[in-house]
Amino acid sequence: MVMSQILKIVRERQSSRVPFDPERSVAKQDLSQVLEAARWAPTAHNMQNFEIIVVDRKELLEKIGNIKSPISEAFIRENYQQLSFSKREFLQKKVGILATMFPPEWRDPTKVDEVVRESKSWLLSETIEGSPLVLVMIYDVRKRAPASDGDFLGIISLGCVMENMWLVTQVLGISFSVMSVFAADLVENELKQLLNIPEHMKIAFSIRLGYPVSTSAKYLRVRRDLGAFVHDNRFGNKWSTSPHMPSSSSRRAASHSKKNNSVDRSRIASF
Ligand SMILES: Cc1cc2nc3c(=O)[nH]c(=O)nc-3n(C[C@H](O)[C@H](O)[C@H](O)COP(=O)(O)O)c2cc1C
């Protein structure tokens, strides 16, 4: 596969926040490929610290849909701080999410206190939105990547698993949406009982897979320019977006590594 195709898949991978068709299931063969991508994801120390529960039984999905998910005040307030309230603001900021992704009463920045006061629980069915297939990603809290405080590296690894699966669904034409709410305390407790998840395992997030009922709505996606977050050698030295010329020291290092190609590096690990 040529580089431009890979970059196209990376760029076009996106969140699908529309209802899925409950009658259109994901083919077993496709699901196997998504799981295979998870299997080969990089994880810190190759600890493979995850397990995946594939939920596709209708009655189970219905029970999950009936779980109530309270919305925390912290979520509402921090969400407001990060939203853009117009396309113009969004295009300028180049980070975050457009307020139009949320219910109409959430789209007015002056109404944050009102929304906090009146916020009620949502049913998970509103999040699952008809999806015929949900993957629940869990991990063992008793393990950690060696010497990794708070298992920071282990948690990052779960993100690698997510991205691997996401890219494969993009190629397969399957819509994908992350649902962090599955990890919220109250929701997690109910799910652990329902799905028989052992005490020492924690839910990291869930993913719903499927096919939109109607043509998938396109939405505005923004990203920062490279110059806004890449630094050239030292923090604050803006990265030039023109083709990068390696410095003389990196040219020397490249020539050194060419000369040392004959060395068997397969047993050299760097920590
Ligand atoms: C760790 C993680 C958690 C996320 N949680 C949610 C979520 O709970 N609900 C949701 O709609 N999107 C969620 N997303 C999707 C992001 O909002 C989305 O990737 C981001 O807005 C960029 O949009 P794009 O995926 O279309 O490029 C999550 C993404 C990641 C990586």
pLDDT per position as a tens digit, 208-234:
999 999 876 678 999 999 999 999 999
Tell me the whole-structure pTM to 2 decimals: 0.90
- How much helix, strand and coil, in percent to the nearest 5, is found in the chain? 45, 15, 40
Distance from the CA of 206 to the center of ligand 1, in angstroms? 11
Q: Which element (helix H / strand E) includes 241? A: none
Give the SS3 label for residue 139: strand
Distance from the CA of 52 to the center of ligand 1, in angstroms? 19
Mean pLDDT (whole number) for 243-254:
49
| C-beta 136 within 6 A of ligand 1 | no
| C-beta 156 within 6 A of ligand 1 | no
pLDDT at 51: 98
| C-beta 97 within 6 A of ligand 1 | yes
Ligand 1 nearest atom to the CA of residue 179, by list position: 8
User: What confidence tier does 271 reach under pLDDT thresholds 50, 70, 90?
Assistant: very low
How far CA 216 is from CA of 15, 18, 42, 126, in Å, comes to: 10, 7, 31, 17
Give the SS3 label for residue 165: helix
The pair of structure tokens assigned to 112 is 């944050």
| C-beta 180 within 6 A of ligand 1 | yes
Ligand 1 nearest atom to the CA of residue 14, by list position: 26
Mean pLDDT (whole number) for 44-54:
97
Probe residue for ligand 1, chosen from 8, 14, 15 as the CB with the greatest number of ligand atoms within 8 Å: 15
What confidence tens digit (pLDDT) does each residue in 145-166 have? 999 999 999 999 999 999 999 9
CA atoms within 13 A on the CB side of 87: 3
Distance from the CA of 177 to the center of ligand 1, in angstroms? 7
Taking the C-alpha atoms of residue 245 and residue 265, their distance in angstroms, rounded to an integer, is: 27
The pair of structure tokens assigned to 52 is 């995946």
Mean pLDDT (whole number) for 230-256:
70
What confidence tens digit (pLDDT) does each residue in 80-128 have? 999 999 999 999 999 999 998 888 888 888 888 998 888 888 899 999 9
